[in-house]
Structure 1
Amino acid sequence: MTGWLPVAPCTPAGCARHTGAVRAPLPAALLLLSGCALVLLGVACVPLVRLLGAGPRRRLTRHWARAVPQAFGVRVRVRLHAPDRTPGGGELVVANHISWLDIPLVASVLPGRTVAKREIRCWPLLGPLAARGGTLFIDRDRLRALPAAVREIATALRSGSRVVVFPEGSTWCGRGGGAFRPAVFQAAIDAGATVRPVRITYRTDPHGSGPTAGAVAFVGPDPLAASLWRVVRAAGLTAHVDVLAPIPADGEDGRRALARRARAAVLGAGDPLQARQTAVASDRANRPAESVHH
């Protein structure tokens, strides 16, 4: 493992488990078909949607992205803690990373250009959709590719684009989380962009009081097909998306401080002790390596 290629300790056997009610195979199969059909429809319609103006294109993207988790049987709850756009300049959206569902969930509220690992381009269904949607594919296998990736993201931000990144560098099961790798935050500083933290949680009831939904965790060597089936079999899943207050990239002590502040916001570190522990842990994890990844 390198700093450019961080790996979470989560495994499918240890983390991706659903302890609540399950759907029968037939209803689950119908949800799987409906979800895949909706993704395919999105792939087919991308060329036509790109012909629309920016406003209609964003609205259609949001509606489609919101429908994708629902088609797979996942309820969606969104809370806006601040306006969804800061006037002027680009916006770097950073979120914790648990599942492939995170991508449409963020797009349903803050559609933008997603930063993803190069391998996703070859995924069935999601790969072609990501490529046509303007995804910034990053080569994580070469540490020397990091500066070019940062420059590419900064260029997109300077043009006024919204760029979506999952700076933990890998998916986690949701019971904890990795450090936010600071490299991508340098792009925000270079471009003078705003950083928008987003918190994603999955629960087994719509009000968020139930246990964490491990069924959605897409971790380790988990095959995409197995993850899709686990999601549609798990009944009562609800995704909660909290769009948090923006953080200016200027006025910080540097990319590491900006990464710590964004991570603390995403983790909901409300009390001083937890905030200090989060900052110390993140700083220690960030020092030897930097990465940017979906």
Structure 2
Amino acid sequence: MNPWLPTAPCTPGTCAGHDGRVRGRPAAAALLLAGCACILAGALGAPFVPMLGAARRERLIRRWAYGVVRAFGVRVRIVGTPAVPDRAPGAPGTLVVANHISWLDIPLVAAVFPGRMLAKSEIRGWPLLGRLAARGGTLFVERDRLRALPTTVRTIGAALRGGSRVVVFPEGTTWCGRGPGGRFGPAAFQAAIDTDATVRPVRISYRAAPARSTGTTGRTGPAAGRRAARHNGSAPAEHTAPAGAAAFVGDDPLIASLWRVVTAAGLTAEIRVLPPIPAGGGPDRRTLARRAQTAVANESAKRPPESVHH
């Protein structure tokens, strides 16, 4: 791997553990099969989706993507709503940028903002997922070739100019979500500036149910935790524990990550839609990248303190 590529300190051994509630093997295996079946259904139906009108196609993709996340046993929480429509007819598309934690990020974002994903070229070779990504209009890039960067910017710009919504994870790699995350690379933001597109930042986080909760009455269990949370005016207990099970970091094998997700009971994925940022009118790409990164980081700062990397 080239030294200029972004790297994260996150590793499967230190960041991807799960000490909350767990499912038994039969239930986890059933969810794994259900999730894979949902992805397979999407792959088989993808050739027919372009035959639908734009509005129906977007609704179908949103429902399917939401269904994929739910099929793996993960709850979905969407905070904020995008403008409908999020662009005027004939206007350039929208550049959606998000922090990156897991392979779950892809269907999670698609459940709110269906669009053309920017992904590393290796994903094209993934079983089933690679074929589905290609059919869905994914823009594959060669991350380890610095000379390919101008071509990537032009590719994103052409898609935005044509009115497409393009989804980018500008950190360039996955982080476990316990710290502030990585720096947003500026390359994709240049495409937004070139086309006068709007940048839409979103914040992704994963929360897990704790193994035990104790209420003020001495009862234990998730229900008691919820009662105590309501009594104290705080968030429910199952949304207060960090969810390392969702992290897909370092050299983690995909099958190991899939199994962690389906065995982690009470896992909740949250996507928070943040205010749009106009790309035109002055900011250079680095300034625009910092503005988007700050918006996402500020949302992270509002969370209760969690362990971070040192």
Same fold (TM over 0.5): yes
Instruction: Output one character per residue of 1:130-184: Cα deviation in whole Å (capped at 9) or x when no partner.
Output: 0000000001121100000001100110111100000000000001200000111
- The worse-fitting range, judged by mean Cα deviation, of 252-261 and 16-25 is 252-261
Letter in 1 for 2:132: L
Give the Cα–Cα distance (whole angstroms) in 1 for the partners of residues 248 and 62 of structure 2: 23
Residue 197 (structure 2) aligned to one of 193, 199, 212: 193
1:70-109 matches, within 5 Å, as: 70-80=70-80, 82-83=82-83, 85-87=86-88, 88-109=91-112
Identity rate, percent: 64
Letter in 1 for 2:119: A
81 and 37 in structure 1: CA distance in 2 versus 1, 3 angstrom threshold? closer
Task: Report the secondary structure of 1:111's partner residue.
Answer: coil
53 and 3 in structure 1: CA distance in 2 versus 1, 3 angstrom threshold? farther
**Contact 2:6/2:173, CA 8 A, preserved across alignment:** yes
**Contact 1:82/1:246, CA 8 A, preserved across alignment:** no
Task: Report the secondary structure of 2:242's partner residue.
Answer: coil
1:234 aligns with 2:238: no
1:140 aligns with 2:143: yes
1:261 aligns with 2:291: yes
Letter in 2 for 1:159: G
TM-score (norm 1): 0.89
Task: Report the secondary structure of 1:120's partner residue.
Answer: helix
1:174 aligns with 2:177: yes
Give the Å deviation of 1:42: 0.3
Aligned position for 2:55: 55
Task: Report the secondary structure of 1:264's partner residue.
Answer: helix
73 and 124 in structure 1: CA distance in 2 versus 1, 3 angstrom threshold? same
- The worse-fitting range, judged by mean Cα deviation, of 28-37 and 206-215 is 206-215
**Contact 2:203/2:299, CA 8 A, preserved across alignment:** no
Give the Å deviation of 1:267: 1.6
**Contact 1:4/1:140, CA 8 A, preserved across alignment:** no
1:160 aligns with 2:190: no
Give the Å deviation of 1:268: 2.1
Give the Cα–Cα distance (whole angstroms) in 2 for the partners of residues 238 and 270 of structure 1: 16
Instruction: Output one character per residue of 1:75-132: Cα deviation in whole Å (capped at 9) or x when no partner.
Output: 0010125525133321000000000000000000000000000000001121111000
Letter in 2 for 1:126: L
270 and 86 in structure 1: CA distance in 2 versus 1, 3 angstrom threshold? farther
How many matched pairs?
A: 271
191 and 213 in structure 1: CA distance in 2 versus 1, 3 angstrom threshold? same
Cα RMSD (Å) of the superposition?
1.6
Give the Cα–Cα distance (whole angstroms) in 2 for the partners of residues 253 and 127 of structure 1: 35
Give the Cα–Cα distance (whole angstroms) in 2 for the partners of residues 40 and 185 of structure 1: 33
Aligned position for 1:116: 119
**Contact 1:192/1:250, CA 8 A, preserved across alignment:** yes
Aligned position for 1:202: 206
Aligned position for 1:10: 10
Structure 2: segments with no counterpart, 5+ residues? 210-234, 302-310
Give the Å deviation of 1:52: 1.0
Task: Report the secondary structure of 1:140's partner residue.
Answer: coil
Task: Report the secondary structure of 2:173's partner residue.
Answer: coil
**Contact 2:120/2:143, CA 8 A, preserved across alignment:** yes
234 and 54 in structure 1: CA distance in 2 versus 1, 3 angstrom threshold? same
Give the Å deviation of 1:51: 1.2
Give the Cα–Cα distance (whole angstroms) in 1 for the partners of residues 2 and 184 of structure 2: 15
Give the Cα–Cα distance (whole angstroms) in 1 for the partners of residues 239 and 142 of structure 2: 39
Structure index of larger Rg: 2
Give the Å deviation of 1:270: 8.9
TM-score (norm 2): 0.84
